[in-house]
Chains A and B, each alone.
Chain A
Amino acid sequence: MTETQSPAKAAVNQPGGRSALRHLLQGERPYMLYVAFAIMLIVFSLASPWFLSIDNFLNIGRQTTLVSIIAVGMTFVIISRQIDLSVASTLALSGMSASLAMAFVANNWVVGAVAGLGTGALIGLINGVLTTRLEIPSFLVTLGTLSGARGLALMVTNTKPVIITNEYYFAIFGEGSVLGIPAPILWTLGVTVAGILLLHYSVYGRRVYAAGGNPTAALYSGVHIKQVTTLAFVLTGTLAGLASLILSARSHAARPDVVQGMELDVIASVILGGCSLFGGRGFVLGTLLGSLIIGTLNNGLVLLGVSSSLQLVIKGAIIVAAVAFTRR
């Protein structure tokens, strides 16, 4: 891990220049993730006649949108050796802000988007500042904002949903499509590409790895760890805000009680995708794959008609097995 080469690059540019196939044959992460995903695709394709179709893959894409988008931000947070438990509550409060702004300021999608993204960014900033300036563990800070943001979301309309009527908002964030690809999936792809560029091909990305990999060395190398970490929280909050726009556009309303517990799905996707909870390691494409693995599992089990209780058991077992299988 150096200032000039990201671990993602290092993973494929190791001494001897081994081919991707050799990495795969030697069972290295992230390569085994692709194998796990491919096995899942094959098994479900054979087991259900409905699984292997464009419509169903678009289903999976749409269903994993919220988790995938927020997980990109969470990848930065976890690589920098922090955690953000507040993302689901941030999403709920951002959605309320967006819908209330359109109801009371101007029924304009830009106003709604700015309010939603701004609320998310603000909560991220609060998380970042409290974690870095007051040196409170991020687990506790974000546990606090998890509760506070959810409480505010419930309080602001006394638990009532806020109805959205803006057709542009629906089209841009929820129901539109380009060349048959639904808007939520386009947003996911856009965020993923931006995340890859930022983490793997920018100075900031290298600093995130440095801050999480070896904070002491990073500090002596002139990396402003507090700024780097705060920005990771702001990014995650902003992406939770974007996810709120997508969810409320799909539902035609913002509700304060949505996606409770989703932070666990987000963290699971990031860890399954190869991030280390101890910081310094991870990559965005792996996170997307982690999210898709969980989404595909959810989708496939319903298509097979597996009972809801058994689904939970199978999901738990497969996620643990996948992590064990790819943990090299």
Chain B
Amino acid sequence: MKHSARILFGTLSLAASAFALSTSLSLAQTPDTCVTGVDLATLGPKGIVGQGPHGEKAASPDELKLTDDEAAKVKAGKFKVGISMQTVNLDWSQLQVAGISQTLAKYGVTVTGVASAEYQVDKQIADIENTIQQHPDGIISIPVDFTATAPTYKKVGEAGIKLVFMDSIPVGLSSPKDFASMISADSQGNGQIAATILASCMPKGGTIGLVNFGVDYFSTNERTKGVSEWMKKNRPDIVMKQVDFTDPSKVSQIAGDFLTGNPDVKGLYAVWDQPALDTLSSMRAQGIDIPITTVDLGLQSAIEIAKGGPLKATGSQRPYDQGVAEAMAMMKALIGQPTPAWVGVQSLPVVQSNVLESYKTVFHKDPPAELVDACNGAKPKCN
């Protein structure tokens, strides 16, 4: 034991003797224009920027409205719809399910059940097969993966069941043959919002870091594409560096090490809000204070934005509204009406000055006390 300790301390002493004793903190020279120089009224795209997985042009959720005749047909149909989610353990999923269920209920459509695959392909395949056995008229689902689930999703159409996707489409399926519609957020538009705000915080010729999801996934790919394309077009002076993660639980470590290895990085974009929060926790530990922007809004990210800390903004999805659009597309399909292959849901810029209102828009309920308190502590900048 004593000998072991001696060798260990000897090794560490050798390493310690070669230390470069630099404890400089990376304090950003953030311009005054950071966020405040951005006009909310003109921030973000006014329409849908991105294209669907097969290059489809975006349709608006307005195109899914039912006429009185169509609504009557739906109500008379006594239809049943099953839902298959990747997980129900996220605000995003719960808001989607709420949007779908409440909208279907208005038109007398019954939800037979909500299956949660917990990100497991085999479980989702079983979920869909079991749902088919219940003989619903339609299934609304988000695929956990694009290839392994494809044959099972094909069985849905073959069984005469209408299919609406959220966020992505498995390989080899096409509309209207195999499914009615795919509804997703305008991920590129959300990426552009994150880029616009981040650019306002960056000096000329500055370097930003992109904390990107290293798994090939349509919506996250589109977000990062939105950021990098906006930067290349509007701020070509900004240098972009990227670090990828595949395991979301490792973001804090990866982002912290990335900042250590790239001290020139003075601004960050993280691909969704939880990686942004994990990056923020790593920055706090290292005494780094640089602006971050992201995509998606949750309670904790809303609180951080309200406080006016390093998390400056997010381009938010509208999962409840997306759920409403999915339900409308399903009802259109159930009564035999044509539906657009891809429907994009408008992005939403969220900054300190509109965080309370944005929370209400996204969650369809009043902001909780914690968020209101955080905002009150940052008056008058926070509203």
Contacts and interface: CB of A to CB of B under 8 A. Distances in A.
Given A20-B7, A63-B256, A251-B281, 20 more contacts: A11-B4, A12-B3, A23-B3, A52-B19, A54-B23, A58-B286, A59-B257, A59-B260, A161-B298, A161-B299, A163-B299, A251-B278, A258-B249, A260-B249, A261-B247, A283-B4, A298-B250, A299-B260, A302-B253, A302-B257
Contacts of A48: 261
A20 B256 contact: no
Interface stretch (A111-119, A137-145, A223-231, A303-311): A303-311
Contacts of A9: 1
Interface stretch (A29-37, A72-80, A121-129, A232-240): A29-37
Given A159-B89, A161-B300, A283 B1 contact: yes
Interface string A158-174: 11110101000000001
B2 interface: yes
A11 to B, nearest CB: 8
B27 interface: no
A175 B285 contact: yes
A113 to B, nearest CB: 19
Interface stretch (B10-18, B132-140, B312-320): B10-18
10 contacts: A11-B1, A31-B4, A52-B20, A53-B22, A57-B19, A62-B285, A63-B257, A175-B284, A298-B253, A312-B246
Contact of B8 (A45, A180, A285): A285
Interface in A198-252: 200, 250-252
A37 B303 CA distance: 41
Given A159-B90, A309-B246, A41 B5 contact: no
Contacts of A278: none
B70 interface: no
Contacts of A52: 15, 18-20
Nearest to B243: A302
B236 interface: no
B249 A309 contact: no
Across the A-B interface, the 4 shortest Cβ-Cβ residue pairs: A20-B3, A302-B257, A303-B261, A308-B214
B252 A63 contact: yes
Contacts of A282: none
Contacts of A298: 250, 253-254, 257
B146 interface: no
Interface string B249-291: 1101110111011010000000000000110010011100000
Interface in B19-46: 19-23
Nearest to A253: B300
Contact of B6 (A20, A158, A196, A256): A20
A10 B285 CA distance: 40
A285 B4 contact: yes
A321 B366 CA distance: 55
A1 interface: no
Contacts of A260: 249
A52 B16 CA distance: 8
Nearest to A8: B1
A24 interface: yes
A224 to B, nearest CB: 26
B89 A154 contact: yes
Interface string B68-111: 00000000000000000000111100100000000000000000
